Amino acid sequence: MNRRNFLKAAALAVVASGCAGNFPKPNKNKPNIILIMADDMGYSDIGCFGAEIKTPNLDKLGFGGKRFTQFYSMAKCNPTRSALLTGLFMGKKNAANAIPLAKQLSKAGYYTAMSGKEHFDGWVPKSCYAENAFDDSFKYWAINTYFAKPDGKFSNKFKLNGNVIEEKDLPVNNPPLYKTDLATDYGLEFLDNAKKADKPFFLYMPYHVAHYPLQARDEDIAKYRGKYKKGWDVIRQERFERQKQLGVIGKDYKLSPPEDNINKFRGPYRNNIYKYRQWDSLDENEQNELDLEMAVFAAMVDRMDQNIGRLLNKLDEMKVRDNTLIMFLCDNGSCPYDSNKDFSIPPGPAESYRSLCAAWANVGNTPFRYYKQYGHEGGAKSNFIANWPGIIKSGFCHDVSHLVDIYPTLLDITATQYLATVKNKPMPRLDGNSMLPLFKGQNRNEPEIIISGYSDRFRMVRFADWKIVKVNGGPWQLYNLQADPTELNNLADAKKEKVKELERKYNTWLKNNGITTVKKKKIRSQ
């Protein structure tokens, strides 16, 4: 059975299964799936979305597949991972009964595996944690250093299938231990397990790159040292022009002005980390230090891309590349927060613990405003790539979509029926819709609602072209993204009734989904 016929059969199988709750029988002709997630990388931080950073493997996937230009995350690590693996924007009614995506695919005959970062909101049930959801998993929780620390201890323990694995037992194929390489080592091992099981596979690779601390191999840093001395003003403008040339953004887009990080819930800030300053106003010593900072960040992205290349080579070796759907996304926009622990040690080595400054994070989020956690486009919008030889044609998709769409998309592709109840427990209704029509160059209905932003303080809600968004728990701002995609013109004062209308629709959605955590506030403008 070829892949096109399989997709037709899959659609018929879903319809035929009705409400009986029967999962399709295992079928090794089903497509394999690899889902790769980056961490704290901006919209423009890979080559096929405008970066000067060398990402040939991601570029190959992007130019050879479909690049989505209006794809949203939840704007922060934990809510994004929670939404991705449950298919829910947030902890709604019956969320405690959520079936993890991997478990659904396992029942559909897939071997499932995860290698990388795990981080959930408190509402996510334990059934969704890696050791309970995947056949095999290698994971670490939230923040972790990239190298083994000089004292031989990690800031966070690694776990293999739920059991702590000690440093001496880790398979380090390229000393010294570097976490991005290590996660891929396990990913490759899990692909071997899939081959032995003679099953189609779902491999989830949530890399930690390029979350702080800024640590990278010397040889990768050397590729970029000195390339950022031209400064963030020039680099950002170059990325903006490259995005227009590539077709990532329209020719009529306007570059948002650089701005400080004004998130008052992340601080206190030291030195000028949260500020934007003109590059030419800095002295030579500071420019040299900040060139190194961005060079290390670029090196981390470069190393991740090298490891994605290892995965692609493995697929070729297994002779399954043509039957494998690969997706790539980021969990949120670039991160500007001061998490530095010792300014006496420069970014790069295992002894350092440094983070990116706001001005470089602003470059990562080109052409959009603000950063990670914010509901503005710079925090909430992700680059997204879908590559599936023979099914997905190369080009762009400019339709609005959200990472909650991935869950129903994979159910659709694998002919897996989402159940209304399991063991007499009502399941939460999935918030997204399948992107398979978009993958195939077809139309689909526009999402009813798009939600992002970290907590209600930075909430973003989008209905069609209209968007309301908060900063620091303040009043709703209002933007029309069709006319103003980089959010330069806040229309809240001019269109107060529109703000009220959208807030009512959002509150209705909250009520209908059993969410009562958001208190109604008086409408003002900002």
HSE-up of 452 (CA within 13 Å, CB side)? 33
Question: Taking the mean position of all CA atoms in its chain, how far away is CA 375?
Answer: 14
Q: Which amino acid is at 469?
A: V
Query: What pLDDT score was predicted for residue 144?
Result: 83
Q: Which residue has the tokens 């099981």?
A: 197
Yes or no: say if 499 and 478 are a contact pair by the CB < 8 Å rule: yes
Q: Which amino acid is at 422?
A: V
Give the bridge partners for 421, in sequence order. Answer: 426
Q: What is the pLDDT of residues 268-305, one digit of tens each?
A: 888 899 999 999 999 999 999 999 999 999 999 999 99
Residue 336: is the preceding peptide bond cis (ω within 30°)?
Answer: no
Residue 313's CB is within 10 A of a number of other CB atoms, namely 13
Give the sign of the dihedral formed by CA 225, CA 156, CA 115, CA 326.
Answer: negative
CATH 3.10.129.10 fits 31-136+170-439, yes or no: no
Question: Taking the mean position of all CA atoms in its chain, how far away is CA 181?
Answer: 19
Query: What pLDDT score was predicted for residue 5?
Result: 52
Yes or no: say if 201 and 111 are a contact pair by the CB < 8 Å rule: yes
Q: Which amino acid is at 330?
A: C
Please tell me the distance from the alpha carbon of residue 93 to that of residue 181, in angstroms, as a whole number: 39
Identical fold, 31-136+170-439 and 459-512: no
Residue 321's CB is within 10 A of a number of other CB atoms, namely 16
What is the model's pTM? Answer: 0.93
Please tell me the distance from the alpha carbon of residue 438 to that of residue 68, in angstroms, as a whole number: 10
What's the fold here for domain 459-512? Arylsulfatase, C-terminal domain (3.30.1120)
Q: What is the pLDDT of residues 71-122, one digit of tens each?
A: 999 999 999 999 999 999 999 999 999 999 999 999 999 999 999 999 999 9
pLDDT less than 50: residues of the chain = 1-2, 6, 8-26, 518-526
Q: What is the pLDDT of residues 436-495, one digit of tens each?
A: 999 999 999 999 999 999 999 999 999 999 999 999 999 999 999 999 999 999 999 999
Please tell me the distance from the alpha carbon of residue 336 to that of residue 307, in angstroms, as a whole number: 25
Query: What pLDDT score was predicted for residue 517?
Result: 55
CB-based burial label for 270 (10 Å; 0-12, 13-18, 19+): exposed
Please tell me the distance from the alpha carbon of residue 20 to that of residue 478, in angstroms, as a whole number: 45
In the chain, where the domains are located: 31-136+170-439, 459-512
* Three-state DSSP class for residue 299: helix
